Structure 1
Amino acid sequence: MQRLVFWLVYPFLWLISILPFRLFYLFSDLVFLVVFYLVGYRRKTVFENLQLAFPQKSGTELKKIRKDFYRHMVDMFLEMIKSLSISNEELKKRFKFTNIEEIQKIRNMNKSILLACGHYASYEWMNALQLYGLDYKGFGVYKKVKNRYFDQLAKDIRGRYDGVLISTTRATKVITENERKGIRGVYAMIADQSPKISRAKAWTNFMGVNVPVFLGLEHLSRSQDMVVVYLHVQKIKRGYYEASFKTISYEPAKEPQFFITRNYFDKLEEQIKQEPRYYLWTHKRWKHRNASMSRDAVIIKD
């Protein structure tokens, strides 16, 4: 059944991916109308999240942000499909890195990088980094897709740029083994997800709300002596992005406890407050805000 679903859907994905950009974004406009007005996909969740994050804004303001967000979300989802056929030259033109020298500086230190990303602007085209000729292997830590054929498709897309996807369940093992072998890499991790409440061992303030957080950046960077860099992505205009590297720490083991985690959320929060329409408001990031913390849980203060 998984194979059948894949082969029924894949031809349509390919046709979408080869549309000229003008038609591509016209198609995105049509999909937006369906998703926002007809389907109403998670509209209530998005509005509730915005109310939590921006209690000072009026209902009219929040509704405008919500509508702008859906336009962006549909664009970004389709841009992921565009990755099936986009040329290297076009990708590099549409997703630019402004200070690539920072990555080269870290490479010269003979250290690997934990590239801390958020669900902000675009994280689908950041594999353009592999087109800059850096002496680094690129890895993306991701949540495995249930359909194994679509999961393989995601890996193949990244493979076009010599990148490798690692499932979240294998990330620590793979990174540790690579470091032991002296294989230096850039590991992109989206670190703002919500852990299961049974595994919530750390909480912090995110957009004014106390929520559980993952500590993967903290633990891996300290144990493996990896540099932590925040990927600051901005949407310049429709279909065009600029990314800059903001180093959080060159030597995480020497930082105060939870410095890495708090600094990451501070940088992400700053971007969200500036342009809230580009954050992924459909995920239930604040769903555990009223849950009780376990006795051994820690609170990471601002």
Structure 2
Amino acid sequence: MRKRTISGSPRQRDATPKPYPWYYAPLRWLLMGLAYLPWAVLYFLADGLYLLFAYVVRYRWRVILENLRNSFPEKSEAEIRQIGKAFYQHFSQVLVETLKLAVMTDEELKHRVHFPNPEVLERYLQAGRMAIGLSSHAGNWEWVLTSGAVWLSDEVDGVYKPLNNPFFESFMAELRTRTGAGLIPMRDTLRDMVQRKGEPRVVSLLSDQAAGPEDRPYWTTFMHQEAGFYTSADRLAARFQAPVVYVSIRRLRRGYYEIVLTELYDGSTPLPADGFPITEAFVRHLERDIRAWPEQYLWTHRRWKHKRG
């Protein structure tokens, strides 16, 4: 694990696991016990979760169908339902794979996540620059930050929304930082980047989250629907002259993924003051990935719940 040398930064304080009530201890023991199970057993459990989600509790099935119908108006109802069931299967595997992070070694994670072109980021890190990575809730999004920390030569920090439950906030922070990655609470992003300006590292943003009207979002068409996006990528890139890279992750087979990097901005070309070209480019790349592997996107969240005021 990489050595942390920055003291007092918001990233370091919030990445430290927080205390939680004692009665969560049995739950932690259960989760850790499951994490130590062999992959074959975990995927057997994932198959059970799939059957539970798809045929018993039908977890957010109406939301999934609504999102898929609006996103793929050209597909038949049978095709929509087939994608929905395939998503349940993918989602069940993501759950057990995320839990397995509790005990995976750096070597195993590097073996299971392939980076064919890390040089897209490495050339900036070797030049001593900070870069911004834009990822989404596609593939196994929890493996993006953790695998980036073992593949890349410098530090990788992820911007995240803290959870309200103290146990899961602590447990997820532990999983996400095991391989040496750092965490930055969303509210502290600008302060952290100002304090650490000039340090070579990658700051990772999950950029497909729904931005509400109060966030002054950038509105564009996303999967045939109007959607608001956070404009952090454009604003931070312009302020810090930071290159921006799109992070595409897709499942190759059970437990194996490929992450491909695509440069969206070189960090030196002037950006327009009245537009958001980086965010727009991110949206178009994400659309391409969703259309290629629709079952690997997170359809359970209400991505299009906000409307333009």
Q: Same fold (TM over 0.5)?
A: yes
Q: Which residue of 2 aligns with 1:226?
A: 242
1:207-254 superposed Cα distances (whole Å, 9 cap, x missing partner): 111111110111111111111000111211111001111110112652
Pairs within 5 Å for 1:244-283: 244-251=260-267, 254-256=270-272, 257-283=275-301
1:96 aligns with 2:105: no
Q: Distance in 2 between matches of 1:132 and 1:209?
A: 36
Task: Give the drift of 1:154.
Answer: 2.1
Task: Give the drift of 1:177.
Answer: 1.6
Q: Distance in 2 between matches of 1:159 and 1:225?
A: 27
SS at match of 1:15: helix
Q: Which residue of 2 aligns with 1:111?
A: 129
Would the aligned equivalents of 1:194 and 1:212 in 2 still touch at CA under 8 Å?
yes
Would the aligned equivalents of 1:6 and 1:150 in 2 still touch at CA under 8 Å?
no
Which of residues 126, 147, 164 is equivalent to 1:128?
147
Query: Aligned-residue CA RMSD in angstroms?
Result: 1.7
Structure 1: gaps (5+ residues): 294-302
Which of residues 185, 203, 212 is equivalent to 2:219?
203
Would the aligned equivalents of 1:202 and 1:215 in 2 still touch at CA under 8 Å?
yes
Q: Distance in 2 between matches of 1:286 and 1:158?
A: 27
SS at match of 1:247: strand
Would the aligned equivalents of 1:218 and 1:261 in 2 still touch at CA under 8 Å?
yes
Query: What is the percentage of aligned positions where both structures have the same residue?
Result: 28
Which of residues 174, 199, 209 is equivalent to 1:193?
209
Which of residues 60, 66, 70 is equivalent to 2:88?
70
Q: Distance in 2 between matches of 1:70 and 1:260?
A: 31
Which of residues 17, 24, 28 is equivalent to 1:6?
24
What TM-score does the superposition give when structure 2 sets the normalisation length? 0.89
Pairs within 5 Å for 1:128-147: 128-132=147-151, 134=153, 136-147=154-165
Aligned length: 288
Structure 2: gaps (5+ residues): 1-18
Q: Distance in 2 between matches of 1:97 and 1:133?
A: 10
Task: Give the drift of 1:5.
Answer: 4.8
Residue identity opposite 1:45 in structure 2: V
Q: Distance in 2 between matches of 1:270 and 1:252?
A: 26
What TM-score does the superposition give when structure 1 sets the normalisation length? 0.91
1:138-181 superposed Cα distances (whole Å, 9 cap, x missing partner): 101111011223222222223321111111111121112211xx
Change in CA separation of 1:83 and 1:169 when aligned onto 2, cut-off 3 Å:
same
Moved over 4 A (4+): none
Q: Which residue of 2 aligns with 1:299?
A: none
SS at match of 2:149: helix
Q: Distance in 2 between matches of 1:97 and 1:54?
A: 30
